[in-house]
Chains A and B, each alone.
Chain A
Amino acid sequence: MTLTETPAPPAVVARALTKVYGEGDARVQALRGVDVSFATGAFTAIMGPSGSGKSTLMHCLAGLDTATSGSVRVGDVELTGLSDRRLTLLRRERIGFVFQSFNLLPSLTAEQNIRLPLDIAGRQADETLFDRVVETVGLRDRLAHRPSELSGGQQQRVAVARALISKPQVIFADEPTGNLDSRSGAEILSFLRACVRELGQTIVMVTHDPVAASYAGRVVFLRDGELVTEVSGPTPETVSDTLVRLEA
């Protein structure tokens, strides 16, 4: 192993990020100056108790929501001040999503769902990549099925395939196993980890499940809108312990 390799610049960087909802008495400060960066080619989990602001953080990082102040950079693009149109194009080009539920359009087949981001962007699919992704997620014989004909785990695998197909700079996964039984959940998580290791894909996952978080290489913890600690090389036990400490 040599040390001459310069580390790649981080895929996503947030600086002094704040987010405020509402006004007056209803004012809620969801993020209170978060500084965090996510390394390229890494699998990072964001954890925290309910209401800690982990989903808000993810939404701001992914350009789904705009922060009240602070800055977010995805690759070399500064998100602050981008118009809705530019944000949309950025999501289209550089960001992939896997949500907890309702990941797929019910009227499209699995294959159409996988190709959807490229179709929206009017781009040609990289057919080798498509074949590889389909092979990896093991959906070859399910491509012509509609979501209603797929199991929850299969649906989520289609969602992951869709996120991979446009070769995004980063994939944001929001509780991707929240609706799955533990076997399907484990399958998806292993698969996500494989994507990071084998394809060099950057993944940021929001979860409240210590087991899910343990699949990541690094876990960052939020509490009351602030980044409080992080754990590298987590196991379910270390994550749980940290959580319990935070909630105490």
Chain B
Amino acid sequence: MLTTALAGLRAHRLRLLLTFVAIVLGVGFVAGTFVLNDTVQAGFAQRVTADAGKVDVVVLPGEGGGELPEELLERLRALPGVSEAQGLVRGSAPVLGKDGKTAGDAPTTAVSVVRGRLDRTAVVAGAGPGTDDGAAVLDENTAEAQGFRIGDTITVLDHEGDAHRFRLVGLVDTGVDQMLAYTGAVGFTVDTARRMTGAGGYAEIDVAGAAPGLERAVAAAAGPAYRVRTGAQLADELAAAAGANTRLVMLGLFMFGAVAMLVAALVIHNTFTILAAQRTREMALLRCIGATRGQVFGSLLLESAAVGLLASVAGVVTGYGLAALTLTVLASLDAPLPTDAPIALTPLAASGGLAVGLAVTVGAALLPARSATRVPPVAALRDHVGEPAFRAGALRWSFAALLLVAGLGATAVGVFALRPGQEVSLVVVMAGGVLTFLALLVLGPVLVRPLGAFAGWVPRRLSGVPGRLAVDNAARNPKRAATTSVALTVGVTLMTLISVVTVSTRASLTSKLDEQFPIDFLLAAQTGEAVVPRSVAARLRGRPELASVTQVREVRAKVGGERLDVGTFSGPVQPYVVAGSMAGFRAGRAALDERTAERLGVRVGDAVPLETEQAGTVSLTVAALLDGSRSTLPPVTVSARPFDAYFGAVPDSRVMVAVRDGVAPERARAAVDAAAEPYPQVRVSSSTEVRGQFEETLDMLVMVISGLLGLAVLISLFGIANALSLSVHERTRESALLRSLGLTRAQLRHMLTVEALVLSLIGALIGVVLGLGFGWAAMRALLDGAVVEVPVAQIAVFVVLSGAAGALAAVLPARRAARSSIVAALAHT
């Protein structure tokens, strides 16, 4: 039987080629993710190991955070066996950009650059600050973004907001430190760093020394309040921390890989079903001459295993290439990832890819192989193998109904019964989605005819006989048509779902902001700290260009035993009251965000104690609960005058400005900028800018996700090409008959193209309906009162692209069909 199986492979080489490609793509994606993950993790490990190798023992603050005192450093320096000990300073010190405002989205982190063997700074240009207290180094990205070059003078704010000027002497690489990569880094001498950040102590003390048992000696000297690690232990911890973020991304990639493999499985299943059907007589002949059912079954499985193995090996190699390509692209984009580690194909990655590919291929071939065993030996003697008739049996109907009821039921529960915004609601809705999809998979053969008639309505009318025949042919073998189309459905469903969710998220958030009150400009510090002087709002109120100015100020204070943001507002805010009332809001009253109230366990009318700075502990009566998701107010809000009495004249945390109608945006902007100009920390952002950035981010996300899902679509196209070329093969004589009756080659090609178009449109239509339905459900589960918007244009593009791609998949099979000789095809039996 082995010979038979291998001969089968050779005979259907071409037929299996497309299946092969589908497996290669799926396995390539999975294996590529493995390789990428391994390489990046290895890179992290390599970097931190190189770094930490310079350090023998590290002292870090205890679990609760805090700083390491100067006195500890002195004590460690005095320990026998310690050749050197250095304290590292770390804290915020916002660098000002050339516009005089704090640079970037978060305050720059100041670090101390020590000298000697404990220096771990990677200077990539210029030099470190050395002993020059007036010198500074910047990380490359910040320098590039702000346009600073070595020799420039940069301005940095200290912890009190005062500006200091430094000479830029060098550029550094932040390496794998995710925090520094995000905030940017500015490096000073230890003294300057302490002065700028106002740090009383150190974030880390590094110790070098050769004495045995140094770690224990240091731990004994430091005491139990601090964590003491060896250099190697530190390296492991850092690598793990740095890798955690990447691991999440990799998990996401694996999910896309799973989707790709699912689609590949559908394609494989289809191919083997068709192969088995085409070889009915061959199978029957084998049975006639004495092969058992088990042998027939085994030979088909063996065939699938051989294909799966070969394709998986090719897939692993492809994955390796894909990972290398991705790393090159990442490196050229300056991604904060180590891209320089040698690309590693670990045994785990290789065997993982192989196992997935093999399991999916053989698994997908199981059912077709089983149905091949049902061929009676007498079939070998029959002259003509008829069209596979399809009738949906009671079993199919009841199974589909069961799945559909379960799927729609779960979805309804997720949308209507569970509270929106909880993880469980989304999970339930998604589970409902999967069940519904399975129901459609079972029902597919039933749906194909009506949907084909619908999708084929236009071609049927436009292109005469070829069009009509094509539409009929598309649904001629309903089972095959369904599996072929559904493979495309997977990709289209997910793409539609993602675009509905993103467009709706955008619409929901914008509509919430707009509803609350129209903000045109927001003035706030990077950190949201209360640093906007009240005079700014006062000046803005005097400007005729502006319609309204709202101030919000917050402090951290203890409320009912928990540290929370307590604040107040002045200006035209209409809070969303869920319970109670804001009428007569005055001293002794508080409005609580709904969630906060839940956490504190209080309701409207209850009293909560507030520890103030200047008025001792006061008791507040809860007057109203607010909808936190729609509120720009602090979790605990009191009225303005009592707030000053409790906490003093705290500056504003943020000032929100609405422009008077009819004022040119540039004029309004100039007025707002002028008021904020003297204060470097007060950044002005316009809501259109913020919205623009938000939308850009969302668009980017959609693009990336669609790109990844594109792989699933690509695989399903191979499925369409495969199914079509098999249909062409089966209908060789039919095509020849049509050609002899006067169908031109062009008409024949056209006919097959329309058939592919109809198949892909069926898949796309189911996908769009599922995607819309579950996009809506997901939105409702994600967000209370979500506005669901349908991105009609995007979805139209998906459908048109699916159709076009389907037609493209038909090019080669159609060409082969049109080329074949009529005489030879007629003789073919």
B742 interface neighbour in A65, A105, A107, A121, Cβ under 8 Å: A121
A228 close to chain B: CB less than 8 A: no
B387 is an interface residue with CB less than 8 A from chain A: yes
**Any A CB within 8 A of the CB of B473:** yes
9-residue interface stretch from A67-75, A112-120, A210-218: A112-120
How many Å lie between the Cα of A145 and that of B739 in the bound state?
A: 23
Q: Once the chains bind, are A105 and B737 in contact (CB under 8 Å)?
A: yes
| Chain A, range 80-110, C-beta contacts under 8 Å to B | 84-85, 88-89, 91-93, 97, 99, 102-108
Check if A107 sits within 8 Å of B745, measured CB to CB.
no
Q: Given A85-B744, A88-B739, A92-B742, verify A119-B464 contact (CB < 8 Å).
A: yes
Cβ-based interface call for B141 (8 A): no
Nearest CB of chain B from residue A52's CB, rounded to whole Å = 16
Q: How far is the CA of A39 from the CA of B363 in the complex (A)?
A: 64
B296 to chain A, nearest CB (A): 28
Is A142's beta carbon under 8 Å from chain B?
no
Shortest Cβ gap from B234 to chain A (Å): 73
Minimum Cβ distance to chain B for residue A245 (Å) = 28
Nearest residue in A to B824 (C-beta to C-beta)? A65
- Are the C-beta atoms of B465 and A106 separated by less than 8 Å? no
B387 lies within 8 A of A89 (CB) = no
- Given A64-B823, A107-B469, the answer on whether A88 and B464 have CB atoms closer than 8 Å is no
* Cβ contact within 8 Å between B745 and A85: yes
In the complex, A148 has a CB within 8 A of chain B: yes
B456-495 CB contacts (< 8 Å) to partner A: 464-465, 469, 472-473, 476
Contact yes or no, B737 A88, CB < 8 A = no
A7 within 8 A of B: no
Q: Does B821 contact A (CB under 8 A)?
A: yes
CB distance from B61 to the nearest CB of A (A): 78
In the docked arrangement, what's the CA distance between A89 and B472, Å?
24
- From B734, B744, B747, A105 is in contact (CB under 8 Å) with B734
User: Given A64-B823, A119-B465, A91–B741 Cβ distance below 8 Å?
Assistant: yes
Q: How far is the CA of A104 from the CA of B387 in the complex (A)?
A: 14
Report which of B465, B740, B743, B747 forms a contact with A97, defined as CB distance below 8 A: B740
Contact residues of B: prevailing secondary structure: helix
Which chain B positions have C-beta within 8 A of A24? none
- B472, A103: Cβ atoms under 8 Å? no
A122 interface residue per 8 A CB criterion: yes
Report A-chain residues with C-beta under 8 Å of the C-beta of B465: 116, 119-120
**Alpha-carbon separation in the docked complex, A97 to B469 (Å):** 20
Assuming the contacts A107-B476, A122-B464, asked whether A65 and B741 have C-beta atoms less than 8 A apart, the reply is: no
Known contacts A65-B821, A102-B737: does B742 contact A91 (CB below 8 Å)?
A: yes
Does B822 touch A at the CB level, under 8 Å?
A: yes
Contact check, B745 vs A84: say whether CB atoms are below 8 A apart. Answer: yes
The answer, yes or no, to whether A59 is at the interface (CB within 8 Å) is yes
A88-B823 in contact (CB<8A): no
Q: Closest B residue to A174 by CB, please name it.
A: B826
Docked-complex contact B742 and A120, CB < 8 angstroms: yes
Q: How far is the CA of A36 from the CA of B739 in the complex (A)?
A: 26
**What residue of chain B has the Cβ atom nearest to residue A96's Cβ?**
B741
> How many of B's residues come within 8 Å of A, CB to CB?
25
Q: Known contacts A88-B744, A91-B740, A117-B741; is A59 also within 8 Å of B823 by CB? A: yes
Which B421-469 residues sit within 8 Å CB-CB of chain A?
Answer: 464-465, 469
Is B823 a contact of A65 with CB atoms below 8 Å? Answer: yes
Of chain B, the residue at the smallest CB distance from A86 is: B744
Is the beta-carbon distance between A116 and B822 smaller than 8 angstroms? Answer: no
> Is A88's CB under 8 angstroms from B473's CB?
no
Chain B residues near A120: list those with CB within 8 A. 464-465, 738, 741-743, 747
Q: How far is the CA of A108 from the CA of B734 in the complex (A)?
A: 12
Which of B387, B742, B826 has most chain A Cβ within 10 Å?
B742
Nearest chain A residue, comparing its CB with the CB of B743: A120
Which of B464, B734, B744, B746 gathers most chain A CB within 10 Å? Answer: B744
**For B744, what are the chain A residues with a Cβ–Cβ distance below 8 Å?**
84-85, 88-89
Are the CB atoms of A103 and B739 closer together than 8 Å?
no
Centre residue among A62, A84, A85, A103 by max chain B CB count within 10 A? A84
Complex Cα gap A162–B737 (Å): 12
Contacts of A103 in B (CB 8 A): 737
Determine how close the nearest CB of chain B comes to the CB of A130; give it in whole angstroms. 16
Q: Distance in Å from the Cβ of A99 to the closest Cβ of chain B?
A: 7
A121 to chain B: which residues have CB within 8 Å?
Answer: 742
Most chain B CB neighbours (cut-off 10 Å) among A85, A88, A97, A108: A88
Cross-chain contact A64 with B469 (CB below 8 angstroms): no
Q: Name the distance in Å between A137's Cβ and chain B's nearest Cβ.
A: 18
B386 contacts the other chain (CB 8 A): yes
> Given A107-B469, A107-B473 in contact, is the A99-B737 Cβ separation under 8 Å?
yes
A105 touches B738 (CB 8 A): yes
Complex Cα–Cα for A227 and B476 (A): 45
Task: Give complex CA distance A82, B473 in Å.
Answer: 31
Is there contact, CB below 8 Å, between A64 and B747? Answer: no
Q: Please give the distance in Å from B476's CB to the nearest CB on chain A.
A: 6
Least Cβ–Cβ distance between A191 and chain B, in angstroms: 20
Please measure, in the bound complex, the distance between the C-alpha atom of A106 and the C-alpha atom of B473, giving whole angstroms.
10
Binary interface encoding of chain B residues 366-385 relative to chain A, with 1 for a CB under 8 A from any of its CBs, else 0: 00000000000000000000
In the complex, A189→B312 CA distance in Å?
Answer: 59
Residues in B with CB closer than 8 Å to A91 are: 740-742
Q: Are B741 and A116 in contact (CB-based, < 8 A)?
A: yes
Which residue of chain B lies nearest to A65 when distances are taken between CB atoms in the complex? B823
| Bound-state Cα–Cα, A174 to B745, Å | 23
In the complex the two chains form, what is the Cα distance from A88 to B386 in whole Å? 29
- Does A99 lie within 8 Å of B738, measured CB to CB? no
User: Across the two chains, which residue of chain B brings its CB closest to A104?
Assistant: B737
- In the assembled complex, the Cα of A45 lies from the Cα of B740 at a distance in Å of 20
B733 an interface residue at 8 Å Cβ cutoff? Answer: yes
Q: Which residue of A lies closest to B475 (CB)?
A: A107
Give A152 to B24 CA distance when docked, in angstroms.
47
Closest to B822 in A: A64
What are the residues of chain A within 8 A of B821 when measuring CB–CB?
A: 65
Q: Measured between alpha carbons, how far is A29 from B743 in the docked complex, in Å?
A: 30
Instruction: Give the complex CA separation of A104 and B738 in angstroms.
Output: 9
Pairwise interchain contact A88-B387, C-beta atoms closer than 8 A: no
Q: Which of B275-325 contact A (CB under 8 A)?
A: none
From A62, A89, A119, A120, name the one whose CB has the most chain B CB atoms within 10 angstroms: A120
**Would you give the shortest CB distance from A208 to chain B, in whole angstroms?**
15
Closest to B742 in A: A92
The interface residues of chain A lying within 8 Å CB-to-CB of B745 are 84-85, 88
Q: How far is the CA of A120 from the CA of B744 in the complex (A)?
A: 9
Q: How far is the CA of A59 from the CA of B747 in the complex (A)?
A: 22
Residues of chain B within 8 A (CB-CB) of A65 are 821-823
User: Inside 8 A of B464's CB, which chain A residues have their CB?
Assistant: 119-120, 122
Residues of A contacting B738 in the complex (Cβ-Cβ under 8 angstroms): 105, 116, 120
Question: What residue in chain B is nearest A115 (Cβ atoms)?
Answer: B465
User: Could you say which residues of chain B place their CB within 8 Å of the CB of A99?
Assistant: 737, 826
Q: How far is the CB of B735 from chain A (nearest CB, A)?
A: 10
- Per-residue CB contact flags for chain A residues 109-146 toward chain B (1 = under 8 Å, else 0) read 00000001101111000000000000000000000000
Beyond the given pairs A106-B387, A121-B742, 5 more chain A to chain B contacts, judged by CB atoms under 8 angstroms and listed by A's residue number, are A88-B742, A107-B469, A107-B472, A116-B741, A119-B464
Task: List 25 A–B pairs whose Cβ atoms lie within 8 Å, in order of A's numbering.
Answer: A59-B823, A62-B740, A64-B822, A64-B826, A88-B743, A88-B745, A89-B744, A91-B740, A91-B741, A92-B741, A97-B740, A97-B741, A99-B737, A104-B737, A105-B734, A105-B737, A106-B387, A107-B469, A107-B476, A117-B741, A120-B464, A120-B738, A120-B741, A121-B742, A148-B387
- Which residues of A approach B to under 8 Å, CB–CB? 59, 62, 64-65, 84-85, 88-89, 91-93, 97, 99, 102-108, 116-117, 119-122, 148, 162
Give the 3 A-B residue pairs with the shortest CB-CB distance, closest first.
Answer: A92-B742, A119-B465, A88-B744
